[in-house]
Amino acid sequence: MAKKPVITAYEAAKMIPDGATIMCGGFLGCGQARAIVKELVKLGTKDLTLIANDMGRAVGPMGEEFFGIAELIHNHQVKRVIATHVGMTPEVGEQMNAGTLEVNLIPQGSMAECIRAGGAGLGGVLTPVGVDTLIEESPLCMGKQVINGKEYLLMAPIHADFALLGTYKCDEAGNCWYKGTMRNFNTVMATAADTVIAETEYLVPVGEIEPENIHTYGMCVDYIVEGERK
Amino acid sequence: MDKNEIKAFIAKRCAKELKDGDVVNLGIGLPTMIPNYLPEGVDLVIHAELGIVGAGATPKEGDANYDPYHVVDAGGNPASVAFGGGFIDSATNFGLIRGGHVDACFLGALEVDQEGNLANWIIPGKRMPGMGGAMDLCVGAKNCIVCMEHTAKGNPKIFEKCRLPLTASHCVKKIITEMCVLEVTEKGLVMTEINPEFTVDQVKAVTAAPITVAENLKSMID
């Protein structure tokens, strides 16, 4: 199995230019590529579009200052976010009200499915979720359709320049295994970006993850970064 | 009743809605108290939108399964998987929700109305936390139950028509508060149970929608 290049978090962050669209796996920082995010903060890469369930947390599980992508928001490096919930990151609301941050909220299931569609070659998603709500006016909503008498919204597929995965184990071929609730959006995001970088707590030899237990296939991963072990 | 007693009272009544083996999603806050009041012999599959099918009890620091960096709930707090439960990715998980595989979801409301419309994710111009998984749950769960305090500081939360932007339309089947149980029917709200601490008129006075009282109105307390 061909090995994937192992790079530093700094080298990974350096690849991402100003104005890039980045998908960040993770749910309130759990399963997020937090070491790469730290380097992005240091580099000050700006005008980013972030696609993630939420915008991380201002305070980590053990009282850490910033946990995940919240720091990019606080550092004013983001121009647009596509998310499902930003209530744990009040700074998002403040920048939105100040007119410096565009926020597109979509339902969590629609977000997962739109990213899946983006990575699976589909032209969109028809979902009953969001009918009769403000989602009908979302830039990601392409209109309404009636199928067998029931209304559905047509949601656009989501694709990104980069996907940053937060994994527990990654083997040298890029196969990933997520512990606990880390999996969340990571597995779909791994399929829906031009460049996919897997940050992992443990870089392991090929074969250590049983073939039946590979959650993200190495064929989807372009680079591997060793992050912090928790 | 003080705030905590009110919440416990509502959670206790909600627990009666559940039967053994139900797959249940519990919103944040009050709904998470429901498992504390399950009748004997009722074992639930707790569904957590972050990625647990069969969530367990909240672990404490020092517990063997305490892992705040890898196993958390939708509030970011340490969570656990029950014996026999499993972890799942978001796309598959929401497929389960939309696909009608979740028996019931319990969630709070900013406003709810007589048509079963629910508003609980945005107050335009003031707060926009987001819908998270609420829209999917309201549309997809077989039974959507609102559990909440009957009023917001004395002001009605139950209306003829919601004024705030909706989370989902025509989704709520039942409303459980500290005052009464309301069923959403084609003919509007029907009060099927009342807390004997209150009169029907007292409930109607703080509800901004017409209420029909069921012929066999029962007490919320056994």
CB within 8 Å: A87 and B130:
yes
**A180 contacts B70? CB cut-off 8 A:** yes
In this prediction the pTM is 0.96
- CB atoms near residue B28 (< 10 Å): 14
- Write the residue in A28, A132, A181 that is nearest to B166 by C-beta: A132
CA distance A137 to chain B (A): 12
Give the 3-state secondary structure of residue A15.
helix
Instruction: Find chain B residues with C-beta within 8 A of A103's C-beta.
Output: 128
ipTM of the complex: 0.96
Strand order in the sheet with A150-155: A125-127, A150-155, A141-147
**CA angle at B2 for the pair B61 and B212, rounded to the nearest 5°:** 115
pLDDT tens per residue, chain B (222 residues)?
899 999 999 999 999 999 999 999 998 889 999 999 998 999 999 999 999 999 999 999 999 999 999 999 988 899 999 999 999 999 999 999 999 999 999 999 999 999 999 999 999 988 889 999 999 999 999 999 999 999 999 999 999 999 999 999 999 999 999 999 999 999 999 999 999 999 999 999 999 999 999 999 999 997
- DSSP reduced 3-state for A65: strand
Contacts of A27 in chain B (CB under 8 A): 50-51, 72, 74, 76, 90
B83 touches chain A (CB under 8 A): no
- Output the pLDDT for position B173: 98
Secondary element (H or E) of residue A135: none
Q: Mark yes or no for CB contact A129/B165 under 8 Å.
A: no
Question: pLDDT tens digits for A18-40?
Answer: 999 999 999 999 999 999 999 99
CB contact under 8 A, B50 and A127: no
CA dihedral A22, A27, A29, A35 (to 10 degrees): -40
Residue A37 near residue A164, CB atoms below 8 Å = yes
Nearest Cβ partner of B50 from A27, A111, A128? A27
Residue A67 three-state SS: strand
* Residues of chain A contacting residue B111, judged by C-beta atoms under 8 Å apart: none
- Which chain B residues touch A29 with a CB distance below 8 Å? 76
Quick one: pLDDT at residue B75?
A: 86
Strand order in the sheet with B111-113: B118-119, B111-113, B158-159
The predicted pLDDT at position A47 comes to 98
Give the active site residue among B17, B40, B49, B186.
Answer: B49
Active site residue B49: yes
Rounded CA-CA distance B121/B136 in Å is 12
* Tens of pLDDT, residue by residue, chain A (230 residues): 899 999 999 999 999 999 999 999 999 999 999 999 999 999 999 999 999 999 999 999 999 999 999 999 999 999 999 999 999 999 999 999 999 999 999 999 999 999 999 999 999 999 999 999 999 999 999 999 999 999 999 999 999 999 999 999 999 999 999 999 999 999 999 999 999 999 999 999 999 999 999 999 999 999 999 999 99
Interchain CB contact of A98 with B (< 8 Å): no
- Best of B72, B90, B128 to substitute, by most chain A Cβ atoms within 10 angstroms, is B90
Residues of A in contact with B79 (CB under 8 A): 181
Which contacts qualify for A3-8: CB closer than 8 Å, 24 or more apart? A3/A172, A3/A173, A3/A206, A4/A172, A4/A173, A4/A174, A4/A218, A4/A221, A4/A222, A4/A223, A4/A224, A5/A222, A5/A223, A5/A224, A6/A172, A6/A203, A6/A223, A6/A224, A6/A225, A6/A226, A7/A223, A7/A224, A7/A225, A8/A225
The answer to whether the Cβ–Cβ distance between B165 and A115 falls below 8 Å is no
For the record, the structure tokens of B29 come out as 């806050």
Q: What is the rounded distance in angstroms from the CA atom of residue A163 to the CA atom of residue B73?
A: 23
Helices (H), chain A: 9-15, 34-43, 70-74, 90-97, 108-119, 186-189
